[in-house]
Amino acid sequence: MRLKNIIVYLLSISIFIIGCQQLDNQMKTGLDDHVSISVDDVNPDEIFYTGTVFIGDAADRFGTDEYALNSATITDDTLDISVSYSGGCKDHQFTLVASDTFLESFPVQLHAAIAHNANGDTCEAYPTENYRFDLTPIKTMYQEAYRQEAGTIILRLKDAPDAELVYEFTI
């Protein structure tokens, strides 16, 4: 009876280890796709993870870990970015931190930055990932401040490779 329990225990451990190895071969799931995707099945440039948007003074609240901002584009109400960073063993969070004050110009401008929290990841891989940020809270802030449904904002994103990101929205 004792030998049977040991065999069942060892078999259970083996199945657990195999399952963990299979999970390591899958990419993390972004909120945009809601499914697990095998690394072999997709182009990494087509996977987007959803980032958080914060408006106001965040100080260092959302992290100060280094990263490279490879690209940034705005389409409709979405900011798409590509970032590279050192790590790969833990989940990383990227937050769009936007000022709560527009710069008065025509069109108005808004300072913003991407905050990175590596969660203490000390691994040495250098992954590149794509993130999407919903700009609707920024549009709402504009609409409330200027009492206009349509508008244009120049998003001054810190370290953005392109000089100007134009966010236009209509009724």
pLDDT of residue 3: 65
Element housing 140 (H / E): helix 136-146
pLDDT of residue 20: 38
Task: Give yes or no for residue 48 having a pLDDT over 80.
Answer: yes
Which among 138, 131, 147 has a CA at the least distance from the CA of 112? 138
| Cβ proximity of 139 and 169 under 8 Å | yes
pLDDT of residue 149: 96
Mark 9-45 as b/e (b = at least 16 C-beta within 10 Å): eeeeeeeeeeeeeeeeeebeebeeeeeebeeeeeeee
Q: What is the pLDDT of residues 74-129, one digit of tens each?
A: 999 999 999 999 999 999 999 999 999 999 999 999 999 999 999 999 999 999 99
Separation CA 67–CA 95 (nearest Å): 12
Query: Could you tell me the domains of the chain?
Result: 1-42 (no CATH), 43-169 (2.60.40.3220)
Residue 42 banded pLDDT, cuts 50, 70, 90:
low
